Amino acid sequence: MSDCVFCKIATRQIESYIIEESENFLAFLDIHPHAPGHTLLIPKNHFKNLSELPENLGEEFVKIAKKTAFLLSKAFKTEHFTIGINQGSLAGQTIDHLHIHFLPRFPNDKGGSIHSVVYNKPEEDLSAIYQKILKVKNES
Ligand code: AMP
Ligand code: ZN
């Protein structure tokens, strides 16, 4: 997409600190790091979210995700990461081009776990929630 900042990074119209690249993916440093080594992994083509990512890119995606984590773990001497996607504006997605955040974690870095992102306790019990999902699954 012509006005997408991550498309422009992928085509080198905008500079970035690229740490790893494969045929269809690129990993580069986040411009506003929330941790040392905060990295974004993107598909080079414009897919809005994980649902749009073609399944045939799955193996390449896992491979570069593992390589990204490996490089960061060695560079920053930590095995601890928060890895995640803000998918959709309600979840905090500000750039509509799929990107996976890699946040190296350190002792006393004042961060929390994924559980601290939201606590919207459901009113229904787990069984009712499960039935809702099964219904969709059986109809699809
Ligand atoms: P999100 O809120 O999940 O959509 O995250 C978007 C991320 O993109 C933010 O962490 C920004 O700091 C980062 N970002 C925005 N523009 C650039 C850029 N030109 N180069 C690197 N990272 C960027
Ligand atoms: Zn894009």
Q: What is the pLDDT of residues 69-115, one digit of tens each?
A: 999 999 999 999 999 999 999 999 999 999 999 999 999 999 999 99
Angstrom distance (rounded) from CA 11 to CA 60: 19
**Ion ligand 2: residue ranges with CB closer than 5 A:** 1, 4, 6-7, 46, 97
Angstrom distance (rounded) from CA 15 to CA 129: 45
| pTM score above 0.85 | yes
- Average per-residue pLDDT in the chain? 97
Domains located in the chain, CATH noted:
5-111 (3.30.428.10)
Residue 41: phi and psi, rounded to 5, are -110, 125
**Cβ 65 under 6 angstroms from ligand 1:** no
| Burial class of residue 110 in the structure, from the number of CB atoms within 10 Å of its CB (0-12 exposed, 13-18 middle, 19+ buried) | exposed
Token duo for residue 11 = 């085509």
Q: How confident is the model at residue 1 (pLDDT cuts 50, 70, 90)?
A: confident
Report pLDDT for 94. Answer: 98
Report pLDDT for 80. Answer: 98
- Say how many Å lie between the CA of residue 101 and the centre of ligand 1: 9
Looking at the predicted structure, is the pLDDT value of residue 54 above 90? Answer: yes
- Say how many Å lie between the CA of residue 79 and the centre of ligand 2: 30
Residue 17: phi and psi, rounded to 5, are -90, 90
Report pLDDT for 33. Answer: 98
